[in-house]
Every structure is written in structure tokens, then in C-alpha cells.
Amino acid sequence: MKYIIVTGGVMSGLGKGITTASVGRNLKNRGYNVTAIKIDPYINIDAGTMSPFQHGEVYVLKDGGEVDLDLGNYERFLDTELTRDHNLTTGKIYQSVISKERRGEYLGKTVQIIPHITNEIKDRIRKVSAKSGADICLIEVGGTVGDIESMPFLEAVRQMHREEAEEDIAFIHVTLVILDAQKDQKTKPIQHSVKELRELGLSPDVIVARCNEPLLEKTRSKISLFCDVPVEAVISAHDSNDIYEVPLQMENQGLTEYLMSKLNLSTISMDDSWEKMVERMHNAKTEIKVGVVGKYTHLEDSYISINEALKHAAIECGCCLNVDWINSEKFDEDPDAVKMVADYDGLLIPGGFGERGVEGKILAIRYARENNIPFLGLCLGMQLSVVEFARNVVGLDGANSTEFDEDTPYPVIDILPEQKNIVDMGATMRLGDYEAVLREGSLAEKIYGSQNIIERHRHRYEVNPNFVERIEAKGMIFSGKNKNRMEIAEIPDHRFFFASQFHPEFRSRPGKPSSPFKAFMESMLEGKQ
């Protein structure tokens, strides 16, 4: 197994995740099977209880693992499926070690950071990479060098460097080049960051320098000299128009060849599909304008998978995508403002939790339905489309979800009886892959080209089966089901009205767009033409 460790310096949010994913993509293009592990130093067991306002999107894996959004980038760039074990957190590591201590597995020894915590980290990295069957495992260490919570993980990878063969492990350090008042590129933060890394016993093989503009040759030479890496191993990670350009940017600077030489690898085969995909993206002509009405819109990372799935569909359809993020509370405060939805080629209502902004979303759904605007609803977006239809078409005045109104006379969205007595919040959630059976002749079957599909879920409430017959009698059908759970709602008489209880955005890939997103884009494009 070959390991590539990615660390960060100076500040967080520099793009370690995109760097990791881009390096992996380029190695995959050379014929290698690549996997990735994300280390998050926080004490949370996983990202499931973390607010999108603080940490961005909670990404859901096929096995129901709720993880950091970087794993979504790994899956999209590498076109692979990961598991919860590919996300290591301080909480997971300490929980495991303490459980072993309680069971007496350490035979009376004093349990310490070294060797017990570091051994647990190394064991997990090696087991996960081996189980994946990959040739190369990329490991992103979250946070920055110098963070106290990252120390055990950095010590663990230092030990791995000593234990693995020299040709089996490489270190990439992602750090920052800043501009002074005269717009000169300053390398001092990089020098201090590498110095701090060396004090921990680690030396980078590659330095990826984040900057606004391409690195000047004199800047590159200075970084090489002061940080003791070859000039060809100093990579300029300057701002790109799109994250999908980053693998090409790194490839063109020779990073892949340098890493393969370091790891004693040779090219097995060449795949240029990524380059062709980026070329299609650049050649898009027709602009499609999508309105996304949500509640976390001030932080785009909260909806990163939705944005990427829209982009994948747009690339496939030859469209130039323009997304506006609209705060649903705007419609709560001013219902007349919902008329702005008419300015868009299509409307998307994403998932979310909590009552804030819900009525604004319902107003937007009603406007899209009544004005025949293409509509895509995801998770809560589906539930609210059912609530809106029940209120305004079926005539169930006061219909709602019991998440927002426990005393509603018409609980069209509710927790199913078999889940109501479960106390553990996580246990009431439907997480990860579930199958759905699609109705023959439905829009859903046409979109997927199959009557059996698998998609990822993250929700607690369901469409109440007691109201299905009354709703379907008025024209909204539930064309996808998992036993007594409604998976897809559609309105056949509408131009395009498709809502899913699941999250199709989690399985969308560049070059392989999610089927509902592609159909949504095609509907908007057809209307445009």
C-alpha cells in the first residue's frame, strides 16, 4: 500500500480537501485504484449533530455514515463510494481506546497517547486502506499544524513514516502565500509552517502553495530554498474558475509525475475523461438560471452536494449554470416577494431541519406548482410539497408535519408508529442506502430507466400513509415506495414536478450526473429553447 499524507499550515480552509481529491483523481487517471481517509480532530464521534452554519454540509455515505463534506469531494473526484470508517475523528479514536481499556484489553498497562492512541490511529488507517482494495490511500489530516487537537494524528503519521518503506509514503503540505501592501508574494508564513512541521518530526515532500495569482518563479525558488524541497515539488495552487480545473492545474505542473517517481510508480493506463469533462464545461452555451430556496443559504458549503449535482447535470446537458441562493425567510416576511420565482428557469427546495423558513418554502412550492415552473424537491423539499398540496389542492386546511406542529389536524408528515418509541435521536433517522420500487409508466421510472433504484437518505419524518389515498385522488402520485414509506412524489399534469424523500445529490458525479438532476436540467433547457 502506498500512502500520501496531506497536512495543512497557516490557516484552515485553504483547500486541503480539494488538493487531496485532485491528487487522487490524477493518480486514478494513471490507472491506479485510489481511496481516501479524512481525519477530523474534533471530539464529535461524527458530523451528524453539527450545524451546517458552522461546518457546512453533513455528507451521507452509503452505509449511513454522517461525515465531513470533504468526503463528498473524494467520492465525486474519485468516482468511488466510501464508508464511515474513512472518516476518523478524535471522538471515534478515544471511544475505541477507552472501550478497550474497560474490557481489560491493555492488561493493566497505563493507557497513554503514545502508544495506545497513536497505535489505534495507525491500525485504523491500515485496516481501512487494506479493506478498500486500493493501491494508494490518501490521508487528509484536518486542521493546521500547531493545533493541539491534531498532535496525536500528526505523531501517528510520523510513526508511519518510520515504519513504512521510504518509497511507500509521501507527505504533501498545503499552506498559504500572502500578498503584502505592494502586492509582493510573501513566503514567511510557509517557512514558519514548515518549520513547525519539522519540529514534529515531519518533512514535506511537496509544498502546495495557495495563492490568488500563479506563483512567480522567484517565489517558487525561495520556497524551495527555505523549505528544502526541489523546485519541481513546489506547486502553485492559485485561484481557479472551478474546482474541477484543479486536477488539471496540478497535472500541468508535473505533480503527478513527481509523486509517482517518489513512490516508485509507473503509468498503467491514461484516462482523459476528466479533461474532456472540463472542456465540455467551458464550452457550455445556454444559460440556465436556478433558484434554490433554503435556510442555510448564506453559506454555500451547506448545500455543496446540491450545487455540484446541478453542475454535473448542466455539464452533461451543455448548459451554463447560474444558481441563486434565496433565503426562505424572505418569503415568510414578505409573501408577495415569492413572485421573484418567476424569474428562474426552475426551482429547487433542499432538505433541512427545524421550523425556521418552512412557510416561505411552502409559498415558493405553491408558486412553482401553480405557474408550471420546473420543480425539484429534496427530502424536506418533498415533505413540504406534500404539505402544500394537501392544504391547497386536497383542502386539508392546517395540514402540516408534526415536526413543526404536533397538534395539526392533518399530520400528512409524521414519524411512523414503529419509530415513535425510540429514545435515541440517531436511531430514529433513516440514513444511507435504501431501495425504492418505482411505479410503471411514471416520470420516476422514465427518469431512472428502471423500476428498482437505490438512493441515500437522511431524515426522520415520513409521508403519513393514512393520507396517501386522498392526496393521490387529487393528482399528486407517490411513484416510488419502500414498503409503507413514500420515496417519490410527482404531479403528472405538471411540466416537471419531482420530489424525493432521499438525497440524489449524494450519488451524483462529474460525467455521471444524478438522474433526477439531469431530468430537471433537461426540463429547464427544453423550456428555454
How far apart (Å, rounded) are the C-alpha atoms in residues 112 and 116? 6
The pLDDT tens digits of the residues spanning 98-156 come to 999 999 999 889 999 999 999 999 999 999 999 999 999 999 999 899 899 999 999 99
Q: Which single residue is written with the C-alpha cell 511537496?
A: 206
pLDDT > 90 in the chain, percent: 85
How far apart (Å, rounded) are the C-alpha atoms in residues 39 and 129? 14
Q: Which fold has domain 277-528?
A: Rossmann fold (3.40.50)
Closest by CA to 249, choosing from 264, 234, 235, 261, is: 235
pLDDT at 285: 87
Count Cβ atoms below 10 Å from residue 283 Cβ, excluding itself: 10
Closest by CA to 4, choosing from 338, 26, 240, is: 26
pLDDT at 53: 64
pLDDT at 14: 87
Strands of 43-116 (E only): list them: 59-60, 66-67, 87-89
Lowest-pLDDT range of 208-212, 331-335, 431-435: 331-335
The pLDDT tens digits of the residues spanning 198-253 come to 999 999 999 999 999 999 999 999 999 999 999 999 999 999 999 999 999 999 99
Indicate whether 63 pLDDT > 70.
yes
φ, ψ dihedrals at 181, nearest 5°: -60, -25
Catalytic residues: 379, 503, 505
CATH architecture of 2-264: 3-Layer(aba) Sandwich (3.40)
Q: Fold match between 2-264 and 277-528?
A: yes
DSSP 320-337: EEEEEEEETHHHHH-GGG
How far apart (Å, rounded) are the C-alpha atoms in residues 426 and 58? 14
Kindly list the domain boundaries of the chain, sorted by start residue: 2-264, 277-528
Contact call for residues 321 and 310 (beta carbons, < 8 A): yes
Burial of 13 (C-beta count, 10 Å sphere; 0-12/13-18/19+): exposed
Indicate whether 342 pLDDT > 60.
yes
Count Cβ atoms below 10 Å from residue 102 Cβ, excluding itself: 9
Contact call for residues 397 and 384 (beta carbons, < 8 A): no
Closest by CA to 327, choosing from 356, 297, 349, is: 297
Indicate whether 425 pLDDT > 60.
no
Count Cβ atoms below 10 Å from residue 285 Cβ, excluding itself: 7
pLDDT at 419: 66
Count Cβ atoms below 10 Å from residue 395 Cβ, excluding itself: 11
The pLDDT tens digits of the residues spanning 369-386 come to 999 999 999 999 999 999
pLDDT confidence tier of residue 30, bands split at 50, 70 and 90: very high
DSSP 368-423: HHHTT--EEEETHHHHHHHHHHIIIII--TT-EETTT-TT-SSEEEE--GGGTT--
Mean pLDDT for 303-307 is 95
The pTM of this model reads: 0.94
Indicate whether 423 pLDDT > 70.
no
The pLDDT tens digits of the residues spanning 475-495 come to 999 999 999 999 999 999 999
pLDDT at 422: 55
